[in-house]
A = this chain, B = another copy of it.
Amino acid sequence: MKLSSKNLHERTDVLYDAIVAGGGAGGLSAAIYLARYGLKCLVVEKGRGRSFWMQELRNYFGVDPTTPGRQLQKHGTETALSWGADYLMGYVEDVADRGDHLEVKVKVGKQNSIYPVFKAKYLVAATGIIDILPQLEDMQNVYDYAGYTLHVCMICDGFDMWDQKAILIAGSEAKIEAAFVLSWFTPYITVLTHGLFTVSDAMKQKLQEHGYPLIETPIARFLGENHKLQGVEFVDGRRIECTTGLINMGAKYHNHYLKGIPELTWEGESLVTDEFCQTTHPRIFAVGDLKKGLNQVSIAVADGTLAATKIWRNIRRSTPPRKWLENIPA
């Protein structure tokens, strides 16, 4: 059922089988499986995650390649609710390990916030990442193109950039290396640093050898209309033409609430997991972009399947099989 500040007190005494932090593709897939294993689960979704910003999901089997991520997310939320999952809009603040269960503190409401604590045997961390975008004075100008013709994922959208004049906005020198992969899709690449870092002479030479111009002046604004990129204007007034681009400035990981759990193993900001997405803490699973691996919807969905299945196995094996000793209920 849908929880809110009005009715969530009905659930704060419940020991959930699992709490799913994050209601994107991975979290909702986990919730659908958990609910269909007959397990009590609660999805906590803060809103406006990476799926929300996906304008067209190109690669996910079974879904039209023009489907926006938010539509899929809405559909999955309704499906999880229909199978019996609980769902709450809120922000996971903290997770505390109480030995035989976890306590999950959630911030509900942006104003006059309340901080209920929910209990669960397992946690599925599915809060994902959010791509770092170039910061311009007018952020709406960025949102007008990001996710449309200015992409954040080469695997998802490289095909749609084929042989187009493209910009690569890099967040560091290491992230410029993406140009030499992006060239699979288009070699007409101009590399932009947005004035954020200095580029080594070696990299400058490598770019020159490949014929990729480098512009180190900060971006003033993106040009175009109707979400279709046509060019970039820089703070010095210079303009270039381009019809597409890739933002490669890294990502912010929504993982702060796990930083107090000493048993977890990190690789950078990603969680290390086993083949069932279990972290090195036996009650905590990580799915989708939070864990190591490809950041793809299809992977997150499978991760949710795996985590839910392992949680079900663990819980099921802790109780003996039910016997047919009584009459069948009418």
Tell me the residues in window 143-180 of chain A with beta carbons closer than 8 Å to chain B beta carbons.
Answer: 155, 158-159, 162-163, 165, 179-180
Please give the count of copies of this chain that the complex contains. Answer: 2
| Chain B nearest Cβ from A25, distance in angstroms | 6
Chain B residue, CB-CB nearest to A299: B302
A316 within 8 A of B: yes
A251 contacts the other chain (CB 8 A) = no
> Nearest Cβ in chain B — how far from A201, in angstroms?
19
Q: Enumerate chain B residues within 8 angstroms of A312, measured Cβ to Cβ.
A: 184
> Is the CB of A203 closer than 8 A to any CB of chain B?
no
Q: Which of B181, B185, B323 contacts A211 (CB 8 A)?
A: B323
List B contacts of A294 (CB < 8 A).
Answer: 305-306, 309
Asked if B183 and A298 sit within 8 Å, CB to CB, the answer is no
B159 near A38: Cβ-Cβ < 8 Å? yes
Q: How far is the CB of A70 from chain B (nearest CB, A)?
A: 12
| Proximity bits, A289-327, B CB within 8 Å = 1, else 0 | 000011010110111111001001000100001111100
Q: Quick one: given A61-B32, A302-B298, A309-B155, are A163 and B329 in contact (CB under 8 Å)?
A: yes
Q: How large is the interface on A (under 10, 10 to 19, 20 to 34, 35 or more residues)?
A: 35 or more
> Contacting A184 at CB < 8 Å: which of B38, B63, B67?
B38
Please encode chain A, from 208 to 228, with 1 for each CB lying within 8 Å of some chain B CB and 0 for all others. 011110000000000000000
Give the docked Cα–Cα distance between A163 and B324 (Å): 10
Contact A211 B298 (CB under 8 A): no
In the complex, whether A79 has a CB less than 8 A from a CB of chain B is yes
